[in-house]
Structure 1
Amino acid sequence: MQLENVEQLKARVDEEWQAVLDMLSEKIAIGSVSAKGITAEHMRRSAEFVASMMREVGVDAHVEQSTNPDGTPGAFEVIGEKHVSDDAPTVLLYAHHDVQPVPDPSVWDTDPWKATVKGDRLYGRGSSDDGGGLAIHRGAIGALADELGVNIKVFFEGEEEMGSESFIPFITAHKDDFAADVIIVADSGNYSAEIPSLTTSLRGEAECDVTVRVLNHPVHSGQYGGPILDANTTAALLISSMYDEKGNVVVPGVKSQEVVGGLQRDLDEKTFRHDSSVVDSYTFAGEGSLASRLWVKPSISVIGFDAHPVEGSFNVIAETARFRLSMRVAPSQNPQKALDALTDFLVSHAPFGAQVSVKQVAAGSGWAMDMSTDVVQDAEEAMRVAFGTDPINKGEGGSIPFIPELQKLYPQTKVLVTGPEDPMSNAHSPNESISLSGLKKNILTEALFLQALARN
């Protein structure tokens, strides 16, 4: 990449910067919480705002309401395109315009629905997840302007934070709108605000509800306690049996794998401890690199537990307990096979012959990037130039279920997962924020990458 072109593009990003900040501030103020209703008026307003934002930079964008698998009205989606040439490659840009709720604004240091700049960070719900992704796309297209050398398609989803129930019906009904040579998914992040990353893998996910029964009805703990353990204790024993003494998952058939692309740098434990807010006395579970435990090894979490509250408790042995397990699955493992293995394990390891039943809830595939393509090399070079340092590829412990679904429908399409987040972003948590210097470099990165695609 010629230095002159890079400096010119930097200048154009600077020219677009205020418009990007204004867009991000307005987007935060909308409060696009899909959990309050994906069909609600505030979600329509959010989608219309995002569409108008893209029209400002020449993308013919509009809003369509999706349909859920059961035929009911679904989310408000933004789709559009900017056609440059029949001979140019086509790039689909993805982000989502819905955001997480704010259960307790009092734990925020700023108003979560008002963009607030403190130092190099802009705070507000959705500032990084995924207003930052929208900002990257808007800024890059605006910076390239008439020199955009690729065809652009956009899909900005309205229910990503709710599980994308209507995604498959929508894409099935709009196959031509999703056909592209490259897809850029701006819903992940960088190794840090100063070090860029491509996301090389995502874990799959699976959920199940487990019911443990030890009695047909509650009985007095003084009369029967001892020979009979209560259902909550029995459930705890069952849960603990999924791990060895070091905290490794030991469920047969639930697999692990190596870090995709190789581990270039492990996560810094001190930083991870700070960002996760783990208590000082806690020792991390599992073995191997911290990165592998987060990115490619399985994890199983109890995310819900039905039990009698402490307030109002009395001396009886609980007859049943029910809990929900959320399992993160290695990127390359079939999530249904992992869920079946977990189901078999739970039933066969019932403590003291208790009755254990499992209801499978969901299973979504993980994803691993093909590191060998020219597209990956172009993207990494764009990051290197924009950030002034070599990128460090990383995985993600979370899931973006629509990516493997897209790859199934468009197997020849190359997918890149990028994004605006960094370890300080606090996505889904209080005091969510985005690094402004990092955002500007992300915009420059995407603009440089689109230029490189146009030349190839």
Structure 2
Amino acid sequence: MTDPQTPPPSSPATPSDVTTVRDRVAGLMPGLVADLQTLVGIPSVAFPGFPSEPVDAMAAAVVDLLQRSGADDAHLLEIPGGYPAVYATVPGPPGAPTVLLYAHYDVQPAPPEQGWDTDPWVATTKDDGRIYGRGAADDKSGLVIHAGTLQALLPDPPVNIVLLIEGEEETISHLEEFVEAHPELVQCDAFVIADMGNQEVGRPALTTALRGDVSLTVTVRALDHPVHSGLFGGAVPDALIALIRMLATLHDDAGDTVVPGVSSGEWSGADLDEAQLRDSAGLLDGVSFVGTGTLASRLWAKPSATVIGIDAPTVAHASNVLIPQATAKVSMRVVPGTDPDRDLDALIAHLESVAPWGVQVEIQRVKTGWPFAVDMDGAAVRAAESALVDVFDREVETIGSGGSIPLINTLKQACPRADVILWGAEDTALARIHASNESVDPAEIERMVAAQVVALQRLGATVQE
């Protein structure tokens, strides 16, 4: 939150100016909703093994959307080894600051076994007014927010605008290496990342911290072949049992992740509503939360280790044998301010140290994603906060995210001077990103477009003053 002794930056914009922006954006919403519905209908899953044609079609659709919104030079940016990004520039007044608007056009898969109520590739508006479909929130809502911002600001944008739309945020991204090789393309005064959301619709927030993500695979071997569990069980070790014992040491009885040497902290911003979190997570009756401390600390300021996959015989193919080899994939979210390489080293050392019975252990590093913390003192962040206050007519919360956007650190390394704004229309309460029945509230998109327009107006006016 802004220090009450220091009012947020403002331009000559008055409440009537904000009303003018909101009226302008309201007039754009029918077209923006239609564009969102079209984009949801393109199954742009960039994961390996999925067809490339829908991803390429989505990239072309983004180019078309941005060009129709006024970014005449929007074009595909070929990314070596991956799907193309979409890039565009819109010049503002001489001497104006430059703002880079980021979103991504790829989406998570939507397998039927997730339990969708409607076709995930058909945008469906239900009685609650929300639009359902894969990517409706994450992150095709971000694309529409940026398109609406262009439409509301042009032909006279108050700042220089760069648009960078990624095609592989949900999978193995190749954009980070590209940005490292071409830092000149992302030079700006502020990065605006429209891939977040408020805790609930109509309750404005700025995301100020992202946990990082490290992962590994751990393979345990005990035998060179399966053996009869009756003849050998009780004296000969089982690799799967050994692996289970190792994985069980990642948490204490309360459910806190307790890997020696891994950093932990406490959250000082807004907390979460327990009932809302239970509902949004789909927690079953009688199941309690895990961990200690505030819910916000558990989700945004403490590490969390998760076993996201195990290779072992299935129940359908079970046999009365001791398992000779078993493998698990472990993902651990790490806290802002920590070194993820160090935390991954600590996780590896811990698993190696708790292996029982002399079993052989092989660990392979999979991923190291850096956490991120926002500097709240920048002019762009303060302009964003004041815009949220005026558009939503409510005070702004500072929240975190347990998720990760590794590209942000790459962008900051390429342009250290730039502020970072993290916001969007993916409300925590109901959006259900990555899950079945993903949805977005178009009224939240409308408010976020208006807030982004007002923030850019104020940023341009503040710097020019």
Matching residue of 2:19: 7
Matching residue of 2:281: 276
Alignment deviations for residues 87-127 of structure 1 (CA, whole Å, 9 cap, x no partner): 10000000001111111178222221121112321111111
Matching residue of 2:456: 450
Matching residue of 1:27: 39
Q: Secondary structure at the match of 2:74?
A: strand
Give yes or no for contact 2:92–2:156 (8 Å, CA) kept in 1.
no
Give yes or no for contact 1:304–1:325 (8 Å, CA) kept in 2.
yes
CA distance in 2, matches of 1:240, 1:107: 30
Cα offset, 1:57, TM superposition: 2.3
Matching residue of 2:70: 58
Matching residue of 2:390: 385
Q: Secondary structure at the match of 2:383?
A: helix
Give yes or no for contact 1:94–1:184 (8 Å, CA) kept in 2.
yes
Alignment deviations for residues 215-251 of structure 1 (CA, whole Å, 9 cap, x no partner): 2332221122123342211111111112222111111
Q: How does 1:42-81 map to 2 (within 5 A)?
A: 42-59=54-71, 60-68=73-81, 74-81=82-89
CA separation of 1:347 and 1:36: change in aligned 2, threshold 3 A: closer
CA distance in 1, matches of 2:343, 2:183: 30
CA distance in 2, matches of 1:96, 1:35: 14
Matching residue of 1:358: 363
Cα offset, 1:173, TM superposition: 4.7
Partner letter of residue 367 of structure 2? A
- Kindly indicate whether residue 100 of structure 2 is the aligned counterpart of residue 92 of structure 1: yes
Alignment deviations for residues 41-87 of structure 1 (CA, whole Å, 9 cap, x no partner): 3222211211111112221211122102xxxxx21210010002231
Q: How does 1:107-256 map to 2 (within 5 A)?
A: 107-118=115-126, 119-164=128-173, 166-256=174-264
CA distance in 2, matches of 1:117, 1:163: 32
Say which of 414, 421, 425 aligns to 2:431: 425
Give yes or no for contact 1:185–1:415 (8 Å, CA) kept in 2.
yes
Give yes or no for contact 1:89–1:150 (8 Å, CA) kept in 2.
yes
Q: Which moved more, 1:216-225 or 1:135-144?
A: 216-225
The aligned length equals: 447
Partner letter of residue 395 of structure 2? D
CA distance in 2, matches of 1:90, 1:374: 12
Partner letter of residue 62 of structure 1? H
Give yes or no for contact 1:105–1:112 (8 Å, CA) kept in 2.
no
Partner letter of residue 218 of structure 1? P
Cα offset, 1:37, TM superposition: 6.1
Cα offset, 1:281, TM superposition: 2.1
Cα offset, 1:321, TM superposition: 1.2
Q: Secondary structure at the match of 2:17?
A: helix
CA separation of 1:412 and 1:129: change in aligned 2, threshold 3 A: same
- Kindly indicate whether residue 308 of structure 2 is the aligned counterpart of residue 308 of structure 1: no
Cα offset, 1:372, TM superposition: 2.3
CA distance in 1, matches of 2:183, 2:171: 22
Say which of 369, 386, 406 aligns to 2:374: 369
Q: Secondary structure at the match of 1:358?
A: strand
Q: How does 1:408-423 map to 2 (within 5 A)?
A: 408-423=413-428
Q: Which moved more, 1:77-86 or 1:372-381?
A: 372-381
Cα offset, 1:39, TM superposition: 8.3
Partner letter of residue 53 of structure 2? E
CA distance in 2, matches of 1:359, 1:312: 27
Cα offset, 1:347, TM superposition: 0.7
Give yes or no for contact 1:38–1:76 (8 Å, CA) kept in 2.
no
Give the TM-score taking structure 2 as reference length: 0.93
CA distance in 2, matches of 1:252, 1:426: 33
CA distance in 2, matches of 1:24, 1:269: 32
Give yes or no for contact 2:220–2:326 (8 Å, CA) kept in 1.
yes
CA distance in 2, matches of 1:393, 1:217: 54
Partner letter of residue 425 of structure 2? P
CA distance in 2, matches of 1:125, 1:284: 28
CA distance in 1, matches of 2:193, 2:50: 21
Matching residue of 1:330: 335
Q: Secondary structure at the match of 1:168?
A: helix
Q: Secondary structure at the match of 1:352?
A: coil
Give yes or no for contact 2:355–2:361 (8 Å, CA) kept in 1.
yes
Identity rate, percent: 39
Give yes or no for contact 2:272–2:296 (8 Å, CA) kept in 1.
yes
CA distance in 2, matches of 1:106, 1:224: 40
CA distance in 1, matches of 2:273, 2:94: 47
Give the TM-score taking structure 1 as reference length: 0.94
Cα offset, 1:175, TM superposition: 2.7
Alignment deviations for residues 248-302 of structure 1 (CA, whole Å, 9 cap, x no partner): 111111111232xx223x1111111111112222221111011111112111111
Give 5+ residue unaligned stretches, structure 1: 69-73
CA separation of 1:337 and 1:234: change in aligned 2, threshold 3 A: same
Displacement over 3 Å in runs of 4+: 36-39
